[in-house]
Amino acid sequence: MKTVTIIKCVLVFVFMVHGINTQVYGETSGNMNVTAGNLGVLLGSEKDVITNLIITGEINGTDIGTLRSMSNLSVLNMAGVNIVTGGSFSVNGHIINVVNNQIPDCMFHHLTKLTSVEIPNSIISIGDSAFYLCSGLTTVSIPDHVTTIWNFAFHGCTALESFVIGNKVDFIGEAVFCDDIKMKDFIVSESNTSFCSEEGVLFNKNKSKLIRFPNKKSGAYTIPESVTSLDGHAFCSCSELTSITLPVGLTNIGLDVFFGCTGLTDIHCKALMLPILYYDPFLKVDKENCKLYVPSGTSAVYSNAKVWGDFKNIIEEALTDVSEIEKSNTAVYTKQDVIVIKNVAMGEIVSVYSVLGILLQSVKATDDEIRIAVPANHIYLVRIADKIFKVVV
């Protein structure tokens, strides 16, 4: 007990000598006001002792280098800090310069002992790989002024369980949250005009793009019918996902979307037209045993396509009949050799496909009734927005 008291007194004395405004919590915490470039001087020989640190004032690249060198730093509060241009630091031999009000690239790259970080309130941008592989990070506070989160910023933060996106964020880069294996949900400010979340899943505002599915979610998931594209790495390493349903209007599947989804046992793809793939988005999915379900009459199309054809079990599923799928006043029926579509919103695109998913005609609605002549004795698929109608002529 006497030894601990002596250590506390020594630390307080050291901080007072350096002119630091200090609060000491045990022998490992400090509270100090910094001018750009002098954090290392203020910390002195205590740099590798402190675990909890609150700093205010201004820091530059030199100070960031000092923070990175603190071997036991766990909790960092920089809410009252301004990051200013000047100085630099090095990560894996790369020199990184610093500019005003931005968390620079790789600022906390691979600092595995960090558990909590409060980002400066003045920050507007979080750089590429800023928290890459911060595997101990459990909480991070994103200020309201942040507008941009760059590629890989929180990639590999395996202890993060949730992430709050404020009202001003308007850009999220590639693979920002990949391999965050404990992530349960994304929470987006209702006033954000660029992004939203539903059941913890991150989308752009109108839900036409699915950006990130939380790694920790498990079981089956049906992607909303409004989604037309899956962002790169959207489901990357979601090993507890067992079944996925892809919507009829899906047109693009990005890079490594389902990479490492080792638990997938079935994929239900409702798309009549083959979605565009970037390389193989199903790497490390067990294509030998995972069943791929496709619309009736399209198995040959999928089997002969690159990547899709790698699945050994391609099974056709019957599309829902018009009477079952109709959820509005829109009516689709046949009259002799004509498909009649009534009560379609003005400007809506109506597309007619063969059962093989080949586009035959596409018409923009300019009246409340559309009539499309087609050859008789065939089955056709009529797509209106996110609905599919099957008709026989």
CATH number at residue 329: 2.60.40
Give the separation between CA 338 and CA 109, rounded to whole angstroms.
63
In a domain, 181, yes or no: no
Pick the closest to residue 393 from 382, 385, 384, 383 (CA basis): 382
In a domain, 31, yes or no: yes
In a domain, 218, yes or no: no
Domain boundary (132, 160, 188) is at 160
Q: What pLDDT does 385 receive?
A: 72
In a domain, 52, yes or no: yes
Give the separation between CA 257 and CA 203, rounded to whole angstroms.
14
Q: CA torsion, points 15, 21, 24, 25, in degrees to nearest 10?
A: -150
pLDDT along the chain (393 residues), means of 10: 38 39 49 94 93 96 97 96 97 96 98 97 97 96 94 97 96 94 95 96 96 96 93 96 93 96 96 90 97 89 94 84 49 84 85 75 86 84 77 78
In a domain, 12, yes or no: yes
Q: What pLDDT does 54 receive?
A: 96
Q: What pLDDT does 217 receive?
A: 94
Q: Is 184 exposed, middle or buried (0-12, 13-18, 19+ CB in 10 A)?
A: middle
Give the separation between CA 64 and CA 97, rounded to whole angstroms.
10
In a domain, 245, yes or no: no
Q: Measured in whole angstroms, how far is the alpha carbon of residue 387 from the centre of its chain?
A: 27
In a domain, 366, yes or no: yes
Domain boundary (160, 194, 220) is at 160
Q: Any idea what the CATH number is for the domain that residue 134 is in?
A: 3.80.10.10
Give the separation between CA 68 and CA 80, rounded to whole angstroms.
19
Q: What pLDDT does 393 receive?
A: 79
Q: What pLDDT does 318 receive?
A: 73
Which residues is 333 bridged to in the sheet?
Answer: 340
Q: What pLDDT does 356 receive?
A: 62
In a domain, 336, yes or no: yes
Residue 358 belongs to domain spanning: 322-392
Domain boundary (110, 140, 160) is at 160
Which residue has 């899943």 as its token pair? 201
Q: What pLDDT does 363 receive?
A: 87
How many separate domains does the chain show?
2
